[in-house]
Amino acid sequence: MDSFGKILISIGILLVIVGGIMVVGNRFGLGKLPGDIFIQKGNFTFFFPLASSIIISLILTLLLKLFRR
């Protein structure tokens, strides 16, 4: 049961980090980068933040590698 608590704490910390990146990222234009796919036709809108997802993935990878050492 002790390991389950550690897993829940780790997931919580990860969610806080991702949430912080999303809040801070909006101020720096994350989500509106060249490479993000945005299609709007009539009343249909499709948005896929490809470039933003890659940047977030790189940042999280670096953070996790630092914390695991």
Domain count, the chain: 1
Residue for token pair 């990860």: 14
Residue 56 pLDDT more than 70? yes
Query: Residue 64's domain spans which residues?
Result: 2-68
Closest residue by Cα to residue 33 from 53, 15, 18: 53
25 or 10, which is more confident?
A: 10
Q: Specify the pLDDT at position 1.
A: 65
CB 30 within 8 A of CB 14: no
pLDDT tens across 29-51, in order? 777 888 889 999 999 999 988 98
* Residue 62, both tokens: 């670096």
